[in-house]
Amino acid sequence: MPERYNHCDSNAKVLRPERCVALNGHPCVACIEDIELEKEMNQGEGSIDSKIQKRRALRTTMNENHDRLIHRFPPEIAFEIFIQYGASFDKRGDSRSHPLYLGAVCQKWRQLAWATPELWTSLHIASSPLQVNESLPQLVAQWLERSAALPLTIDFEFIVCHLVQHPADKIYPEVINHLNHHSERWREVHLKLPARHLNRLCGSFQGNILRTLVLSGIYDEPSNTSGLAFFGMKSKPSPTHLTLDSFRLISVDIAWNFITVASLKTIPVDECFEFLRRCPVLESLTLTSVYFYRAGVTFPMPQTRISCLHLHSLELSMIDESVLSNILDSICLPALRRWVHFHCPVPWDKMLSLAKHSSLKEFRMSGGPDAYPDVPNFLHQLSSLEVLQLRFWFSSRKPPASELLDRLCTPASGSSPFLPHLQYLEFALSFPLSWESIPQLFASPNRQSLKIKVDYESHRGPQNLTDEAAERLLEMVGKGYDLTILRNGQDLIQELREKLRRT
């Protein structure tokens, strides 16, 4: 690969090919001049600043001499490359795809990158307590300026340390001032800041286009005296997507009636109910680690069920039984189509009461051996179900009672068939499914178009895959049955094909 040349100081290693043969086997003029310039710098001759400027110009010429392909790209092609590069940074937050690296390639790329606003629409700020960059405010200001008038995604995180004076406290106020100046362009904002900084991040009166807001609470230093963390803007935002993680509802000042997608984590259950009252068009809700607040309730607990007419997706995770029962008894979801129930108790009667007043299409749940025996009876009441995922774990490798599999294999007949509309079935985690049961599922006439996925770990899932069973699985896939088996994340069907090919 061709070598790139970046600005470096007089003590840095010289980035130059060991032997330049750019001109018919001889060094190019730029390399010859750079060698002479290096000698002068080592001998301390002349002004270092002027020589650094000269070296920058030489490095640009050297790039053109040693890598001519990259400089032949039309600007519009380089522009598209930059946009794809920037998109990878937005998705993964990978510092290696940071747009500043584009400017370090060469002068021409720097000019093009600096003039491409699409590269600068996502800003991630997380200053380490041990490595605070004093130039961060200037860098943020330049970044925002390069983004022109495009909508912004801001990710601003405070990394807690136990120092009496946090090093970031000296520079964050100026950073926040720069962000406030561009608040009319905030479209997506992720904030994890202590009160003394979050309370200053209030934007301006110029209006806003904020649509996604993520607020995460932070355990502040004991010396903090600036009060509780609070988020509000001078121009009240109207987000459609909201996430609160350890952040109290009473500390948020927004317009609630536009929210359609929400995730609430580690907040009191009474605030969850108040949230439902405030959000009449809510469509998707995730509740995680909701709890009863020991100091009492801030908002009234519901006396009748709260009806959420538009909520079609519900996810519940890591909620203890008393809180979960309270939630299930207090809501009515007539539009519910998707229910995810992970790492929670399973009060079947309350769950069934909620499900029977909806038209559930998708149900995903996890549980232990104690919950499994009641699964068939619960599912029998969900005749409209199309997608089913079961993630169960068992201490024994021996498969549990086969009632569920027996019902799935029974031909649809009578007035109450078992899951007649099922289209997708997944067994995951350590569900001890026997290999022989998979062909039995497909053998039933009403299950032949079913898509089945088995996702397991080799030390916890089905065992003893005999050659006969492997051939049967391959035969079924060859006939067009939709079967996917993942073992430790790898495609087992593909492994069986390769094994058969080698024998």
Bridge partners, residue 261, by sequence: 241, 284
Would you say the C-alpha torsion 68, 72, 75, 78 has a positive or negative sign? negative
pLDDT per position as a tens digit, 197-239: 999 999 999 989 999 999 999 865 444 444 578 999 999 999 9
187/161: higher pLDDT: 187
Round the average pLDDT of the chain to a whole number and report it. 83
pLDDT per position as a tens digit, 400-414: 557 888 888 887 776
Mean pLDDT in residue range 59-64: 70
Residue ranges with strand state E in 235-386: 241-245, 252-253, 261-265, 284-288, 306-307, 313-317, 331-332, 338-342, 362-367
Would you say the C-alpha torsion 465, 470, 472, 473 has a positive or negative sign? positive
Among 64-68, 90-94, 103-107, 120-124, name the one with the lowest average pLDDT: 90-94
Residue 110: alpha-carbon gap to chain centroid:
30
Hunting for tokens 């003394």 — which residue is that? 196
DSSP letter string, 426-463? EEEET----TTHHHHHHHSGGGTT-EEEEEE-TTTS--
Give the single-character DSSP code of 208: -
Give the single-character DSSP code of 381: T
pLDDT per position as a tens digit, 5-46: 333 333 444 444 555 656 666 777 777 777 777 777 776 666
Instruction: Tell me what percent of the residues of the chain surpass a pLDDT of 70.
Output: 82
Q: Are strands 313-317 and 338-342 parallel, antiparallel or unpaired?
A: parallel
348-356 vs 321-330: helix crossing angle, rounded to 10: 20
The predicted structure's pLDDT at residue 18:
55
The segment with the largest mean pLDDT, out of 324-338, 422-436, 473-487, is: 324-338
Residue ranges with strand state E in 322-374: 331-332, 338-342, 362-367
Among 41-45, 307-311, 499-503, name the one with the lowest average pLDDT: 41-45
The predicted structure's pLDDT at residue 106:
73
| Tokens representing residue 281 in the block | 């068009």
The predicted structure's pLDDT at residue 311:
98
Domain boundaries, the chain: 1-72, 374-379+387-503
Amino acid residing at 196: R
d(CA 77, CA 90): 20
The pair phi, psi for residue 465, each rounded to 5°, is: -80, 100
Total residues belonging to the chain = 503
Where does the pLDDT of residue 1 fall: very low under 50, low under 70, confident under 90, or very high at 90 and above? very low
The predicted structure's pLDDT at residue 400:
59
DSSP letter string, 122-159? EEEEEE-TTS--TTHHHHHHHHHHHTTTS-EEEEEEE-
Hunting for tokens 């007043």 — which residue is that? 357
The predicted structure's pLDDT at residue 234:
95
Q: Are strands 313-317 and 331-332 parallel, antiparallel or unpaired?
A: unpaired
Cβ–Cβ under 8 Å, residues 422 and 449? no
Where does the pLDDT of residue 94 fall: very low under 50, low under 70, confident under 90, or very high at 90 and above? low
Mean pLDDT in residue range 265-277: 96
d(CA 400, CA 261): 38
